[in-house]
Amino acid sequence: MSWGGPRVLATSLYGVPTTDEDIAKGFALGDEACLAAAYRRWGSLVYSAASRALGDSEEAKDVAQQVFIGAWRGRAGFRPERGTFPGWLMGITRFKIADALDQRSRRRRDLEAVSAAKAEHTLVAEATPNAVVDQLLVRECLADLSDAQRQVLEMTFFDDLTQTQIAERTGLPLGTVKTHARRGLIALKRKMEEVDGAAQ
């Protein structure tokens, strides 16, 4: 089963570690071969836990990679006397899953808020002779965003693409697409509120 982990390039001067204890010990000491061994041994376990909790394979792959990145950066925090290495990894996995669910909730709220604002602008455009002006205001708000944020939001709203589809079309990592979408939605919502406030 492939869970999307990066290719392993590291080798060890002392050979490939084989036991959980050796992998954990080398990992904590910064041995990249042990990082590679940890990916091979527990990557599927972490991915499976994330996939069950999130119900999205691409998001689960993203979380699985975040877990190992976080574990590697925080490897000094592993204490064998407090538990096993895979148990420590699963603890990090639970935190990363919780973060992913929180981000999903925030994205949903932001999308709903911007969709409502967009719908309001559309209703105004249909009900008044200033339809062109209203459409230009929306475009102007989008134009104030960064190129990456604008591209992601335009593909979301105008092309009706999911974030996974956007990642596939642009070649950007899914996590990067999500970040651009979240930050762009926040900025777009703020700008549209400013436009509405100035018009009143």
Give the mean pLDDT of 43-67.
Answer: 92
Answering whether pTM is above 0.85, one says: no
What is the residue range of 133's domain?
128-199
Picking from 80, 100, 120, the residue at the C-terminal end of a domain is 100
Count other Cβ atoms within 10 Å, centred on residue 160. Answer: 8
- Looking at residue 11, what is its pLDDT? 41
CA distances (Å), 94 to each of 31, 49, 62, 74, in order? 25, 8, 14, 15
72 pLDDT above the threshold of 90: yes
* Total of domains in the chain: 2
Give yes or no: residues 94 and 134 share one domain: no
Could you tell me if 96 and 132 lie in one domain?
A: no
Distance between CA 130 and CA 21 in Å, rounded?
A: 70
CATH number of the domain to which 64 belongs: 1.10.1740.10
Q: How confident is the model at residue 53 (pLDDT cuts 50, 70, 90)?
A: very high
Residue 115 is classified by DSSP as H
DSSP symbol at 77: G
Q: What percent of the chain is predicted at pLDDT more than 70?
A: 75
Assign 113 a pLDDT band (cuts: 50, 70, 90): low
In a domain, 112, yes or no: no
